[in-house]
Amino acid sequence: MLTLIGLLTIVCLVALLLSGRMSPVLPLIMVPLLGAFCAGFGPAEISTFFTDGVGRVISIATMFVFAITFFGVMQDTGLFRPIIGFMVKLTRGNVIAVAVATAIIGMLAHLDGAGATTFLLTIPALLPLYKQLRMSPYLMLMLLAIGAGILNMVPWAGPLGRSAAVTGIEVTELWRPLIAVQGVGVVLLVAMAALLGWREQRRIARTGGTLIEDGESDHIGDPGALSEEERALERPGRMWINAALFVGVLVSLFTGVLPAGYVFMIGLSLAMLINYPNGKLQMKLLAAHSPAALSMGMIILAAGSMLGILAGTGMLTSIAQDLVKVLPEPMVGQLHIILGFFGLPMEFLLSTDAYYFGLLPVVLEVVESHGVEAASVVYALMIGNIIGTFISPFSPALWLALGLARLEMGQHIRYSFWWMWLFSLLMLGAAALLGLF
């Protein structure tokens, strides 16, 4: 019964997010709450689940609010316009080159294994370029997400650490065979970026840059045409000090000298003092950037409450345990490969913790009797799933990316799902050819 309620809760949640007919905050809050009540949990237990869930994402929400505002103020100063101009000149307006560059930049930015940092580093710089060339920002997000998925196999990124904790295998020992798979992934992603860039170039030539999705038209205006108010906010004479501040914030994020949220608090304060010392103007800028920051901060907090309830009620664990019971006996020995094949779609059912701490141990126990090694199970489940990390509503970093790019979850899923699943299966096939399972 708990599995059934959990599945209905997640299906309803994903359906409402895909529909785009209401603010994501509402289904993220109400659907899990109703599911918990149906499962027989009372207010006292739900309060504990809520506190635990929000506690996991409060630092991300804090970082998000101040990061959005910081990058907004940096854009107001005009800091990124010369960079974008240089990138446009470097690529000579070549859409294919921009797509390939996006894929490479996304992988480099994810070397630290942190999804939030990856999107914070890349989206504010790339989004104006995509608008300049009238490219779809959903293409940008998909390429960044796939690149981050490939690099997410490094030992310090999380999935390998969870797998090592479950299997008892040393994390670096698990990683060494994956290096070749990551190399194949890099080559595949560059090739895919070139193909999708070519497709995007044809779309732009055909539509003039108009994005046509589901019968609706959304024309991206020319970002080069600045209003009088935008020009008044530019600070070309302070370009270098703003660049130094920007680099200082990025270095602080990489080194972890201070919590990310606090880094952006300090960065925003310095940006205001350096560029806009007038108190009234400071309040005006904060008010201008706060709607996006606060609304997405609310979504992250709501997602935290959702994760807390689904995990605390045991729905996620129950789903993971029951999923392995639906296969016929002859297929049990291949269970890890079958689940790896459907690993990416399972991102819509299981959080990362539920996948590695709920599903992985059960699969290990089931296939062990058929002589399957623990490392093979890890590789099949991880490679089949990890590319989909940043297409799942369970990923707080994805909500951060959507907020930075002003995009919608449902449209991102519709745009990226099949391409990302195809890429995931290609990676799975490469791993099989390399003898990982």
What secondary structure does DSSP assign to 200-238, as a single string? HHHHHHHHTTEEEETTEEEEPP-TT---HHHHHH--GGG
Give the model's pLDDT for residue 298.
86
User: How far from 125 is each of 84, 118, 140, 150, 407, CA to CA, in Å?
Assistant: 7, 12, 11, 21, 16
What secondary structure does DSSP assign to 19-65, as a single string? HTSS-THHHHHHHHHHHHHHTT--HHHHHHHHHHHHHHHHHHHHHHH
For the residues 242-263, what does the mean pLDDT come to? Answer: 84
In degrees and rounded to multiples of 5, residue 128 shows phi and psi of: -60, -35
Closest to 416 in 3D by CA, of 148, 69, 55, 107: 148
Closest to 220 in 3D by CA, of 101, 133, 93: 133
Residue 329's pLDDT band (cuts 50, 70, 90): low
For the residues 8-20, what does the mean pLDDT come to? Answer: 78
For the residues 54-75, what does the mean pLDDT come to? Answer: 82
Q: Which of 174-178, 193-197, 247-251, 255-259 shows the lowest per-residue confidence on average (mean pLDDT)?
A: 255-259
What is the share, in percent, of the chain residues with pLDDT greater than 90? 33
Domain residue ranges of the chain, discontinuous segments joined by +? 1-434
Rounded CA Rg of the chain: 22
Give the model's pLDDT for residue 250.
78
Residues in the chain: 437
Burial of 376 (0-12, 13-18, 19+ CB in 10 A): middle
pLDDT exceeds cutoff 70 at 209: no
pLDDT exceeds cutoff 70 at 83: no
Closest to 263 in 3D by CA, of 255, 254, 271, 253: 253
**What does the mean pLDDT of the chain come to?**
83
pLDDT exceeds cutoff 80 at 254: no
Q: Across 75-79, 89-93, 208-212, which has the greatest mean pLDDT?
A: 75-79
Residue 213's pLDDT band (cuts 50, 70, 90): very low
Residue 215's pLDDT band (cuts 50, 70, 90): very low
pLDDT exceeds cutoff 80 at 216: no
Distance of alpha carbon 431 from alpha carbon 161, whole angstroms: 20
Q: Across 82-86, 111-115, 330-334, 392-396, which has the greatest mean pLDDT?
A: 392-396
pLDDT exceeds cutoff 90 at 424: yes
What secondary structure does DSSP assign to 142-192, as a single string? HHHHHHHHHHTTSTTSSHHHHHHHHH---HHHHHHHHHHHHHHHHHHHHHH
Burial of 300 (0-12, 13-18, 19+ CB in 10 A): buried
Helix, strand, coil shares of the chain as percentages rounded to 5?
Answer: 80, 0, 20
pLDDT exceeds cutoff 60 at 198: yes
For the residues 223-243, what does the mean pLDDT come to? Answer: 76
Give the model's pLDDT for residue 291.
82
- Beta-carbon contacts of 177 under 8 Å, excluding residues fewer than 6 positions away, are 375, 379, 434, 436
Q: Are 404 and 118 in contact (CB under 8 A)?
A: no
- Beta-carbon contacts of 420 under 8 Å, excluding residues fewer than 6 positions away, are 142, 145, 146, 149, 344, 387, 388, 391
pLDDT exceeds cutoff 90 at 428: yes
Q: What is residue 393's three-state secondary structure? A: coil
> 27-61, pLDDT tens digit by residue?
889 999 999 999 999 999 999 999 998 887 788 78
> 338-387, pLDDT tens digit by residue?
889 999 998 887 777 777 766 787 788 778 777 888 899 999 999 999 99
pLDDT exceeds cutoff 70 at 222: no
Count of other CB atoms within 10 angstroms of residue 199: 14
For the residues 209-238, what does the mean pLDDT come to? Answer: 58
User: For 110-136, where are the alpha helices, taking DSSP H only?
Assistant: 115-132
